[in-house]
Structure 1
Amino acid sequence: MTALNRTTVSSPTPPVRLVHLGLGAFHRAHQVWYTQQAEADPEHPEWGYASFAGRSAGISLELAAQDGLYTLVTRSGDGDSPELMTSLVESHPAENTARFIELLADANVAVVTLTVTEAGYHLTEDLELNTQAPDIVADLATLRVGSSDGPLLSAAGRLVAGLRARRAADAGGLAVMSCDNLSDNGTTTRASVLGFARALDPELAEWITAHVTFPSTSIDRITPATTEEFVAEVARATGREDAVPVVTEPFASWVIEGSFPAGRPAWERAGAQFVADIAPFERRKLWLLNGAHSLMAYLGQLRGHTTVAEAIADREIRHHVELLWDDAAEHLTAPGLDITAYRRALLDRFANPRIRHNLAQIGIDGGTKQRMRAVPILKTQRANNLLGHGAAYSIAAWIAFLLRGEDIADTRAAELLAARRADDPVRALLAALDHDLAADPHVLSLIRTFVTELTR
């Protein structure tokens, strides 16, 4: 068995021109893959990633021991296709603030990408920085005394510290691009970064406004969690010791709106789309793909399933997925979306027998995810004097799942636990998603009916 490093595989090392925050499997199956596929000359690559864990060491140490190399396995019904990924050059734990800041101050670094989840932006519902959040309070205190030697806890704190160093180095602008599953994620990122910068140094905020762009993206590629069994399979198939391989599906999508003042890889070579208006594509993905995932995560587990493939094979669950999609499709009418083909492709992807996409993993942070998935569909329906049973059923499945009384795997766990203990837990949990829906008697009555059915 061969050790995996750049010496044993004679891998070319591209210069670091990209930085990522939120190192995980999806980043390695998506942004790193697109970057490697976009190289005009693979023997002389021009774009390398330095990627940082979000809040801890994570897998960064294992990747560092492999010089950033890992195996990406594309898994379909026809078999596995392993590919050695070489565009990740550096991997660092979250606490390596010094290296993060050093890289952002480097004029050769052109783009920062993020996968930190919605909670990682520390914004209120009005897209204002939550300056009372403990991580924000701590980072502002650290940076106000001029220190950046110790760990910074928030994405905004780290980015602003890096951008402050970039301004001091006169390194010019760059793009900061979210790859999280959020509508208008560029606006979200901009609000978080500028909110932190204004609280720290208004002149720095002005510099960021003038020199930094925040492109919006819609991203898509199912990436199940890596298991010990999969690690062993990769070793047998490749003859290499890879501690952190990644498995993914054949399908990949990346839609981008925005500008890149310091340049970017030619991601379009790998199939990325650059569009003038990303909003319709975002809604299509969030409402259809991600919306179906959330519905299956809770309804599937309630019905005893563990994976997406098992859930979509259940006729009852597929029926409710189709109803959810019917609700959403009424409001996805922009040219170029081709909803019928998109739905058909999703069913094929969900049914892929060789992608083990665990429902429990998908169901984490439902208190945040459902706000972006089922809630907008249902609110759009109500704004048009309709009552979407599909979206309401998805919310009811989430509530019924929480009412089972198990530990809540959610960054909002304390708030949701209090709601579950309320005198009227259905109303309280619905209000935790959206106060307007909880105040709508028709919506509340329908969701009560569904929750009763699901908890019998």
Structure 2
Amino acid sequence: MRRDTAPAAPPRLVHLGLGAFHRAHQAWYTARADDAAEWGIVAFGGRAPRPGDLDVPAALARQDGLYTLVERSEDGDAFTVVDSIVAAHPGPRTDLINAHLADPRTAVVTLTITEAGYRLAPDGGPDLADPALLADLARLREASAVDDPAALTGATTAPGRLLAGLEARRRAGAGPIALVPCDNLPGNGALLRGGLLALAAEVDAGGHHGSLASWLADHASVISTSVDRITPRAEPDLAETVRRATGRSDAVPVVTEPFSDWVLEGEFPAGRPAWEAAGALVVDDVEPFESRKLWLLNGAHSLLAYAGLLADHVTVAQAIEDPTLRRAVEGWWSEAARHLPADLDAAAYSRALLARFRNHRVEHRLAQISADGSAKIRLRILPVLRAEADAGRAAPGAELAVAAWVAAHRRGLPLVDAAGDDVARACSAAEPVEALLAMLDPALFAGTPVGARVRDGVRRLVGAAEGSRHCGEISPGATARPA
């Protein structure tokens, strides 16, 4: 698959975290914008591919950035060639990240780096105990003493790469820019802005010539977003499905559902694509939309992931057909809806979610959703659980989600978590259940009725395996795009 004689759009957007979700969401919206011919995306991967994994940036580069989006409904598949990515590079090519961010034509940076990729501490600030993040900060402090652009390269974390690129832009005098986080973090814009300013202040404190933090405050607009489109991992034969249906050879097609949603809040000082043409919504306050999606969709996904895996289900569609799990999800939706504005019509949103979850042709695997549970449970479940506890109510749906996460570790299920080392230490503690709950929120679970009910749930879910003191395999990494 290669471009025809029509020229590619000029590179005016940079994306960090090239994966299936970006290609199903932001790249798709950009391709459908009225002014798509003016907005090309230069996309960068995250970590280097593991042995045996497909090198997505390299494969996309061989296809001139083109790929097929397969929208899968109960009635069949729709195939669309998306052409908004005009260049694809590995994430470690920080020299190219810097060069594009230093280019005045670049107006927007979007990010899909997963919740764990922001390297946040429990208080929401940057985790200054993270060795990789500290190494990136040290590299930036050293670079501040010289004018050599090569000194700004080599960052390994997403915040480090973005900060180095923004420093390259500051040095180039390339003007203002908008940063658009598209991950499932509540207040993602505020968290990214606060994290970057805090990291820039650390760099400035090391003797930086000129203030990076001050420049960021004046020149970087950080957008808050809510993003929604179920995007499972592509099945092994998807490329063959595309070839049979379209006659095109495509090494990196993406499968997704027909539904999509994107809500944005903030200013774009250097312009942006007309994403509204594809259905995006620009609002004054994204928080209610964000909470509705994070709790009702993502929270239900996490509940189904851990409770479903414990019940030997494989996909969301299978798990939601389990009557016990469906009742639990519906209970969770009721708990969360009590804390959402009435005009968002959480009941209608939940009914639509039920139909989306039951789409058996979108094979959304619970193992994929289960990645990075220590971060996801804190973000998706605990806000509602705290609110219900403050109101003096039990929250069976929320409590089941937490109990199932703990029980999945106690039962030895092979889970992936960016905080895998911390999870492993908790599992090896004298009281592993207490240690796992303390990772989430010790005040919420220690000596409280909520904690007692969650522990009872863990005991019921673990059953005969309660005697084990160790979890199963816990990989200290994250999927390319946890759902």
Q: Distance in 1 between matches of 2:140 and 2:430?
A: 44
Please list the CA deviations of residues 373-408 of structure 1 after superposition, one character each: whole Å capped at 9, or x if unmatched: 111110111122222111001111111111112443
Shift of 1:239: 1.1
Deviations 1:246-302 (A, max 9, x none): 000000000111111101011111111111111111111111000000011111111
Instruction: Give the match for residue 194 of structure 1.
Output: 197
**5+ unaligned residues in a row in structure 1: which ranges?**
none
Q: 2:116–2:372: 8 Å Cα contact kept in structure 1?
A: no
| Residue number in structure 1 paired with 2:474 | none
Structure 1, residues 104-129: CA drift from partner, whole Å, max 9, x if none? 01111110011112222222122322
TM normalised by structure 1 equals 0.95
Q: Would you say the 8 A contact 1:306–1:359 is kept in 2?
A: yes
Give the structure 2 partner of residue 348 of structure 1.
355
Amino acid at match of 2:384: I
Match of 1:248 in 2: 256
1:264 counterpart residue number? 272
In 1, the alpha carbon distance for the partners of 2:246 and 2:461 equals: 46
Q: Which one of the candidate residues 128, 140, 144 is aligned to 1:143?
A: 140
Distance in structure 1 (CA, Å) of the matches to 2:246 and 2:454: 50
Equivalent AA in structure 2 for residue 432 of structure 1: M
Mapping of 1:206-217 within 5 angstroms? Answer: 206-217=214-225
**Residue 79, structure 1, aligned to residue 69, structure 2:** no
Q: What is the DSSP-based 3-state SS (H/G/I as helix, E as strand, rest coil) of the residue aligned with 2:38?
A: coil
SS at match of 2:334: helix
Give the letter for the 2:99 counterpart.
E
CA distance in 2, matches of 1:424, 1:133: 26
Name the residue aligned to 1:60.
57
Aligned to 1:443: 450
2:88 is the counterpart of 1:96: no
Partner of 2:468: none
CA–CA distance in 2 between the matches of 1:440 and 1:289?
A: 30
Identify the match of residue 23 of structure 1 among 18, 40, 45: 18
1:194/1:46 Cα in 2 relative to 1: closer, same or farther (>3 Å)? same
Native 8 Å contact 1:115 1:180 kept in 2 = yes
Q: How far is the alpha carbon of 1:150 from its aligned partner?
A: 4.2
Which residue in the other structure is 1:234 paired with? 242
Question: Using the alignment, how far apart are the partners of 1:54 and 1:232 within structure 2?
Answer: 26
Give the Å deviation of 1:73. 0.6
Distance 1:106 1:399 in 2: 47
**Equivalent residue for 1:397?**
404
Letter in 1 for 2:301: H
Question: How far did 1:85 drift?
Answer: 0.6
Indicate if the aligned counterparts of 1:427 and 1:444 stay in contact, CA closer than 8 A. Answer: no
1:131 aligns with 2:128: yes
Report the TM-score, using the length of structure 2 for normalisation: 0.90
Q: Distance in 1 between matches of 2:428 and 2:131?
A: 25
Structure 2 contact 400–454 (Cα < 8 Å) conserved:
yes
2:375 counterpart (359, 368, 380): 368
Change in CA separation of 1:39 and 1:148 when aligned onto 2, cut-off 3 Å: farther
SS in 2 for 1:175: strand
Of residues 282, 289, 293 in structure 1, which corresponds to 2:297? 289
Contact kept, 8 Å, 2:153 with 2:164, in 1: the verdict is no
In 2, Cα distance between equivalents of 1:123 and 1:356: 31
- Structure 1 distance, partners of 2:195, 2:132, is 13
**Residues 54/207 of structure 1: CA separation in 2 closer, same or farther (3 Å cut):** same
User: Partners in 1 of 2:91 and 2:154 — Cα distance?
Assistant: 7
Match of 2:162 among 159, 164, 179: 159
> How far 1:149 moved relative to its partner?
6.0
SS of residue in 1 equivalent to 2:397: helix
Q: 1:163 deviation in Å?
A: 1.3
Tell me the CA shift for residue 334 of structure 1.
4.5
Q: 2:176 aligns with which of 164, 173, 177?
A: 173
How many residue pairs align between the two structures?
447
Q: Structure 1 residue 84: deviation in Å?
A: 0.4
Note the alpha carbon deviations across 1:122-166, whole angstroms, 9 max, x for none.
Answer: 221223222231112221222222244642111222112111121
Structure 2 SS opposite 1:61 = helix
The equivalent position to 2:284 in structure 1, one of 250, 270, 276, is 276
Give distance in 2, aligned partners of 1:13 and 1:305: 44
* Whole-angstrom CA distance in 2 between matches of 1:318 and 1:353: 15
Q: Which moved more, 1:202-211 or 1:107-116?
A: 202-211
Greater shift in the superposed pair: 166-175 or 15-24:
166-175
Offset at residue 28 of structure 1 (A): 0.3
- Partners of 1:221 and 1:369 lie apart in 2 by 17
Partner of 1:14: 9
Q: Distance in 2 between matches of 1:25 and 1:270?
A: 18
For residues 230 and 438 of structure 1, the distance between their equivalents in structure 2, rounded to whole angstroms, comes to 44
Question: Partner amino acid for 2:278?
Answer: A
Shift of 1:410: 0.6
SS in structure 1 of the partner of residue 180 of structure 2:
strand
Q: Distance in 2 between matches of 1:395 and 1:406?
A: 15
CA contact (8 A) 2:445 2:452 kept: no
Do residues 105 (structure 1) and 73 (structure 2) align?
no
Matches of 1:416 and 1:246, distance apart in 2: 32
Judge conservation of contact 1:298–1:398 (CA < 8 Å) in 2: yes
- The structural deviation recorded for 1:194 is 1.3
**Secondary structure in 1 aligned to 2:232?**
coil
Separation in structure 2 between the aligned mates of residue 183 and residue 452 of structure 1, nearest angstrom: 31
Q: Which range moved further: 151-160 or 109-118?
A: 151-160
